[in-house]
Each structure stands twice: as structure tokens, then as C-alpha cells.
Structure 1
Amino acid sequence: MAAEVLRVSVFLVFLVATVRILENLLPPELTSFHRPVPRVKIPADLPLRFRPDGTFKILQVADLHYGTGEGTRCRDVAAGEWASCSDANSTGFLARAIRAERPDLVVFTGDNIFGPSARDAAESLFAAFRPAADARVAWAAVLGNHDHESSLPRPELMPLISLMDRSVSLPDPPGVDGFGNYALRVAGARGSALANSSALRLYFLDSGDRELVAGRRTYGWIKPSQLRWLRAVAAGRRRETAAGLAFFHIPLAEVRGLWGKAIVGEFQEGVACSAVNAGALETMKGMGHVKAAFAGHDHLNDFCGDLGGVMFCYGGGFGYHGYGRPGWARRARVILAELGSAGVARVRTWKHLDDPALTLIDEQVLWEDGASSI
């Protein structure tokens, strides 16, 4: 009996030793010992919901233009800042803005990465959005005209973004042009009369990148199929009293008409919109509840103006690898929706500069129930 136990023990020692030797000799992909544990997405806290004080706060990040990290140099900064300036300045600004404002949602309005400078699109996207995920804040994104210029084509970007930690971005509806068209609802505060209702609707649209029209290259635009989808979404919620906000990258053609008009902020460069106008502004007006639209693309514009019933706001250039102007600080926009007794009663906005004090500028009311915006 003792001899049998000894033989079994020796065999087991030999077996374990053999396994360990094989583990060290064979490539990891051929063994089960090094197989990565499947990672599950960390979801955002849903549903999105107003705070007990009746507010819902959004931080808009326009044109982050992330490249590869600390190896990516900044553009259009003071000569003394260039040597030490990189993508880390952009993500550092994002982290500081999140800590200062504690938003309920961060919205990235396109050109989240700068494709020509991003060798691995997935790696750069994860790094660009990481400050929001690390802060445990829900976030959403749309695409710009540079996000697809790296290693992933446009159709693959939004499915990836929707699977990232804390992302509330959604897959595309069938039969609709573009990649990244979706709507989110924001419920009222817990315990309030609106707790089980949509108090705010957020619409996200893909404004495209570049296209050839009649032999001429132009920027993309929001297409008729997207507008039909938008109207259908709105029609399905006619019984709601929710206000609406829209987010996309490339500005509407009508924004050009704000030159010389009453605006809050700076109009420092031409509006780089499409030569094609499929009627996005008129669609939003016709929906009745869309109070404001927010875009990026033109980094040196950061103004808000009234487009005849729908307020339009630029975010202002956020990222340091995107073009800017030396001495003109990168900036972020904050949007605050405030509830009244029957729904959203007011929408306010302001901006933060990326300076030591995170200086707050251009605070204004975009919309107020029964009141003028500017």
C-alpha cells in the first residue's frame, strides 16, 4: 500500500512538473494558462436622470484631436510651451474639467482622435475617452471628419465606442445614413413627479466627413434618411413634454447667417459647413421641442446664436493637437438643464478656459420657458 501511494505521488509530481515546463516552453496562445479572462464592459448608471436639485449637467468636448499620447505634439501654442505640450495636456484638461463641474454626462462632438496621427484607432480612442470612464461618468460620442482616418473604417468606430466603459452611445438604427445616430432619454429626479418620465431628450447625429458633390469636394451633412428617423423618433414621443438638445460635429449652413448678429462668444473663422443643406434646421424647428444644437469642427468659433427658434452653439476647440491660436486658450462648454414643475424650464451654458483657474466665461441662458434667449 505504501509503495502504491509513493508511485502515485511521484507520478503527480512528474505530471505537475511537465505541465510547468510546457507552460514555459510553449507560446501563450497555445496554452490555456495564459488565456485572457473575458472583460465585460463597465456600464454607466442608467437611466440618465436629473439630480435631486432638478438639474442635469453636460460637459461638451469638441475636437479633442487625440493622437498617440505624450509623443504627439501640440499645435498653435506659445513657443515656450511647445516642447512639453502633448496629448496629455488635452486629457489633463478633460480630467480637470470633470473634477470641477462633476457633469452627469460628457458629450464628445467629433474629431475625438486625429486619424493621421493615431497609429491604432482603438488604442487612441480608449485613451481619449479614458478620463470620463475613470471618473465614472456616463459619456456619449459622435464622429467627426477625422476619426476614421486611422486604422478603423467609419462603420467600425461606433460599435467599438458603444462597447467602451461608461459609454451610453448606441448602435445605428437600420436604414439610416451615417454611423452614430441615436437618442437618449433623461428621466426626472428620483421621487419627483417626473421620475418615470423623459424630462429631456438628447439627439446624436452623424454629420459625415467629406463627399464629392457635382465634382466638388465638400464637407458632409445630415442626410434626409437621418431627418426622417429624427422625425419618427419625435413622433413616437408626442405625449411627452420633454425638451430636446441635439449634438453633431459639422455646423449647419444657417450658422453663416449669424455673422454680424447678436451672439455670445467669438466668431473668428468662416463656417466650414457642407455645400448641401438637406433641411436639418427646419426639421429641428418642426419637432417643436429641440431648444438648442451643439457642434464643433471650427475650433476658433465658440459662440452661441439664435437660428430662429433653435439656439446653436459651438463648443470651441478643446484638444491641443487640433489647430488653434497661440494665446487663445483651449476651452470646454458646459450645458445645464433645469427642471420646473412641468418639465425643463431653462437651459443655461458657459465655458471653461484651460488656464490655472479654469476661468469661467460667457455664461448665458439659451432657452427659458416663455422667455427670450439673447
Structure 2
Amino acid sequence: MGIPPIILNEFDIPVAITYGNHDTEGQYNRQYLRDAEAKLNNLANKHHSYLVDDRENYTLEIFDSETDRLVNVIYVWNSGDYSNWSKISKYAAIGRHQINWYAKTSNQPFNKTFDIGFLHIPLAEYLAVNKEQVVGSYNEKPCPATINSGLFHELLVKDKVKAIFAGHDHDNNFASEYFGIQLNYGNVTGYNAYGRLARGVLAIDLYNDKVERRIIKF
């Protein structure tokens, strides 16, 4: 099956991708999606790429344009789709190998950095967010994996990642904080999915000591 034309190639903007639970429900598997991704003209420069259980995890490195000093590391986890143990959890959890990958990668001799992370299915800690103390829209209960595999604990131990961004729950686009780590949602973009939120994107301004976010509606 050939790779169709890719609309992202019309824009001179670096692109980084991770997949969600719906992306391979049709005729395309993750290998096909990765093959299509490889055809991008401006694919972001991945580091520490690690493919496990058909999920690719990698980092992006951001350097200060004036000093060429590494100031941010962006961790990207492919959170998979559905659990192998449907009676316990509908959605897949971040795997132990993925947590070990983060533990090892975050030990690299980086400069002191302000790091963030992206995944599709939110972590179980999103359930601890107080609905009355968020910025943005909290319109549905978060739907993480029922199993808490421990990534958030590793983030606390390493004390590098200061914000996590998830998708998955289309009626949420809120930001909150839990034990010093910002828990965020993006914003539903497509029109072929459920959700009452106005379609748009989450824009993130990343600095060497903070992250700011804003919703841009279509």
C-alpha cells in the first residue's frame, strides 16, 4: 500500500508525531504510519529513539539560539492503544520498558534543563486533579489506563519534567498542577470525533525556566 501525499509537506515547519488509540483502528498499522512519517520533508530531529511493543519513544532537544546551550529536552512517549487485559483496564498503560527508557535517558549528561513530555493517553494522576482548580475546560472525567504503571513516580524521582501534555479526552483542554508537575490537555482539532469544545490547537511557549500555554480556536 503506497503512501499518499502528505499535507504537512506544504509547510516549512518541523514536525514531531506520536500516535493515539484511534490511529490504527482502521486499515493502517503503526509501521505504515511510521513509514508515512519518514516521508515528511521536515521531520524534527529525534534523539534516543526507542521502539518497544510497536511504540516509538524519543526525545527532542532545544538549544539556546545565542549560546547553543541545551535548555529543554522534550520527551515523547507513545502510550499505545488498548490493554491486553481488558477486564482490568480498557486502555493501555505506559510500559515498564518505556519507564526504564526514560530513567536511563534522563540520566544522560545534559545541562540543567527545563523539560516537558507528550503522550496521548493521560496518566492515572490526572484523576487526582481538582475540577474546581483548573485553568481551561474540564468537561469529562479523564480516561487513563486503570493500571498505574508508575511513570509519574519516575518523573518525581528525576525532577526534570515539569509539564506533561495529553490528548485522548476530547472535552478537556485544562491545565492543573499535581506535586509540582503541570498536567495538561491539548485541544480537540478534528471534526470527525466527539466533543463539544470549539475546535482548535494548544500553542505552547517553552522557555528555559517555564512553559506557557494558550488555546487558539479555529
Q: Deviations over 1:129-156 (max 9, x none)?
A: x2x4312000100010011122222234
Give the structure 2 partner of residue 231 of structure 1: 103
Give 2:72's aligned amino acid. L
Give the structure 1 partner of residue 176 of structure 2: 305
- Rate the CA distance shift 1:345–1:173 in 2: closer, same or farther, 3 A: closer
Given the alignment, which residue of 76, 79, 98 partners 1:207?
79
1:278 and 2:143 matched: no
Is the 8 Å Cα contact of residues 49 and 59 (structure 2) preserved in structure 1? Answer: no
Is the 8 Å Cα contact of residues 182 and 205 (structure 1) preserved in structure 2? Answer: yes
Number of aligned residue pairs: give it. 217
SS in 1 for 2:93: coil
Where in structure 2 are there 5+ consecutive unaligned residues?
Answer: none
1:173 and 2:44 matched: no
The structure richer in helix per residue is 1
SS in 1 for 2:16: strand
Give the structure 2 partner of residue 146 of structure 1: 22
Give the structure 2 partner of residue 315 of structure 1: 186
Give 1:349's aligned amino acid. R
- Rate the CA distance shift 1:255–1:276 in 2: closer, same or farther, 3 A: same
Q: Deviations over 1:190-219 (max 9, x none)?
A: xx23x1x31110111011100232744510
Give the structure 1 partner of residue 215 of structure 2: 351
Partners of 1:142 and 1:214 lie apart in 2 by 23
Partners of 1:121 and 1:288 lie apart in 2 by 43
- Rate the CA distance shift 1:178–1:292 in 2: closer, same or farther, 3 A: farther
Give the structure 2 partner of residue 330 of structure 1: 199
Partners of 1:346 and 1:133 lie apart in 2 by 31
Post-superposition offset of 1:309: 1.3
Give 1:209's aligned amino acid. D
User: What TM-score comes out, normalization by structure 2 length?
Assistant: 0.90
Give 1:318's aligned amino acid. T
Give 2:212's aligned amino acid. R
Is the 8 Å Cα contact of residues 121 and 152 (structure 1) preserved in structure 2? Answer: no
Give 1:166's aligned amino acid. N
Partners of 1:173 and 1:167 lie apart in 2 by 17
Aligned pairs for 1:180-259 within 5 A = 180-189=56-65, 192-193=66-67, 195=68, 197-213=69-85, 215-216=87-88, 218-237=90-109, 239-259=110-130
Is the 8 Å Cα contact of residues 201 and 245 (structure 1) preserved in structure 2? Answer: yes
Q: Deviations over 1:1-39 (max 9, x none)?
A: xxxxxxxxxxxxxxxxxxxxxxxxxxxxxxxxxxxxxxx
SS in 2 for 1:235: coil
Partners of 1:264 and 1:169 lie apart in 2 by 32
Post-superposition offset of 1:260: 3.2
SS in 1 for 2:211: strand
SS in 2 for 1:225: helix
Where in structure 1 are there 5+ consecutive unaligned residues?
Answer: 1-119, 339-343, 355-374
- Rate the CA distance shift 1:162–1:277 in 2: closer, same or farther, 3 A: farther
Is the 8 Å Cα contact of residues 185 and 201 (structure 1) preserved in structure 2? Answer: yes
Give 1:219's aligned amino acid. Y
Q: Deviations over 1:101-141 (max 9, x none)?
A: xxxxxxxxxxxxxxxxxxx8943xx54xx2x4312000100
Give the structure 2 partner of residue 160 of structure 1: 36
- Rate the CA distance shift 1:135–1:156 in 2: closer, same or farther, 3 A: closer
Give 1:235's aligned amino acid. N
SS in 2 for 1:281: helix
Is the 8 Å Cα contact of residues 250 and 295 (structure 1) preserved in structure 2? Answer: yes
- Rate the CA distance shift 1:218–1:136 in 2: closer, same or farther, 3 A: same
Give the structure 2 partner of residue 43 of structure 1: none
Post-superposition offset of 1:226: 0.3
User: What TM-score comes out, normalization by structure 1 length?
Assistant: 0.54
Post-superposition offset of 1:289: 1.5
Post-superposition offset of 1:324: 1.6
* Structure of greater relative contact order (alpha carbons < 8 Å, 6+ residues apart): 1
- Rate the CA distance shift 1:310–1:159 in 2: closer, same or farther, 3 A: farther
Q: Which has the larger radius of gyration?
A: 1
Give 1:173's aligned amino acid. Y
RMSD: 2.1
